[in-house]
Amino acid sequence: MDASPILQINNIEVIYNKAVQVLRGLSLAVPRGRIVALLGSNGAGKTTTLKAVSRLLDLEDGEMPKGEVRFDGRDVRHLAAHELVRSGLSHVMEGRHVFEDLTVEENLVAATYALTGRKAVKADFDLVYGYFPRLHERRRGLAGYLSGGEQQMLAIGRALLARPKLMLLDEPSLGLSPVLVDSIFDIIARINAEQGVSMLLVEQNASVALSVAHYGYIMEMGKVVIDGTSQRLKADADVREFYLGIG
Ligand code: ATP
């Protein structure tokens, strides 16, 4: 088996509008088959890191982040976002972005076509509904009428249709009740274990993220300040005080 990380980021720098430096030499790795949490306070640059990987950065034409992004063994900084999806990288964005005027099932059909270039087949629906039975119940309802948690399920389900090797997840807990957060994270852990999908997980909710992640990075002001196994981070006094809120 290939022992290289599925994702390796080396010394990434991102400057918005040629003026605001948001990432300052950030490096991290996601080993194959693992869940890695990327934590840190508001504005630390977590979302920007995911966008630098998936090529969704809002930079001026032709501008590139500095540094190296290696996905599945190759430098992908020059690939377009849709080429990256085809090579196995799915980005589940904050805010979900489902098509509100389409039904749940139509969202899945559209996503299959957009992500893979082929029509959806039974195996596609089975894959998504197997993890999210609630979406099966709501399959003929408009996505715009789903609850926040159900829309999050749809966003993750849609990303699954591309059969990704790596999923980038941006704040899956955002705006959800504690019960729903637990159930979404259970499913994230199952998708990782059963489908072998590696994951880079951005979260404000550090304790829930570290409950499913194998490894974690904490970033501040655009670079990594602490990293370690989830177990080590959960035992670290500073992490407990500043990120987990337990003194
Ligand atoms: P949050 O948890 O609040 O989303 P974050 O760690 O994900 O925070 P980012 O969203 O990456 O942080 O933002 C980092 C900084 O970059 C913030 O100060 C933000 O205002 C700034 N920023 C983000 N996107 C842009 C943009 N398109 N143009 C200019 N500045 C931006």
DSSP conformation class of 94? T
Which of 77-91, 134-148, 187-201, 204-218 bottoms out in mean pLDDT, i.e. has the lowest? Answer: 77-91
Start-to-end Cα distance in the chain: 42
Pocket test of ligand 1: the residue of 9, 17, 48 to mutate, having most ligand atoms within 8 Å of its CB, is 48
Instruction: Give the residue, by CA position, lying nearest to ligand 1 atom 27.
Output: 58
Is pLDDT above 80 for 62?
no
How far apart CA 215 and CA 106 sit, in angstroms, is: 36
At 17-58, the pLDDT tens digits run 888 889 999 999 999 999 999 999 889 999 999 999 998 876
The reported pLDDT for the residue numbered 78 is 82
Q: How far is the CA of 155 from the centre of ligand 1 (A)?
A: 21
Q: Quote the ipTM score.
A: 0.93
How does residue 90 score in pLDDT terms, banded at 50, 70 and 90? Answer: very high
Instruction: Give the residue, by CA position, lying nearest to ligand 1 atom 17.
Output: 43
How does residue 64 score in pLDDT terms, banded at 50, 70 and 90? Answer: confident
Instruction: Give the residue, by CA position, lying nearest to ligand 1 atom 26.
Output: 16
Q: Residue holding tokens 């270039």?
A: 117
Q: How far is the CA of 24 from the centre of ligand 1 (A)?
A: 13
How does residue 83 score in pLDDT terms, banded at 50, 70 and 90? Answer: confident
> Three-state DSSP class for 227?
strand
- Beta carbons within 10 angstroms of residue 216's beta carbon: 27
DSSP conformation class of 96? -
Please report the beta strands in 17-112, taking only residues with DSSP state E, as ranges in sequence order. Answer: 20-30, 35-39, 66-71, 74-75, 89-92
Which atom of ligand 1 lies at the shortest distance from residue 44's CA? 6
Residues with CB under 6 A from ligand 1: 16-17, 20, 22, 40, 42-48, 58, 204
The reported pLDDT for the residue numbered 95 is 73
The reported pLDDT for the residue numbered 60 is 65
Q: Residue holding tokens 């159900």?
A: 150
Q: How far is the CA of 32 from the centre of ligand 1 (A)?
A: 28
Instruction: Give the residue, by CA position, lying nearest to ligand 1 atom 2.
Output: 42
At 225-237, the pLDDT tens digits run 999 999 999 998 8
Q: Residue holding tokens 């589940």?
A: 92
Instruction: Give the mean pLDDT of the chain.
Output: 91
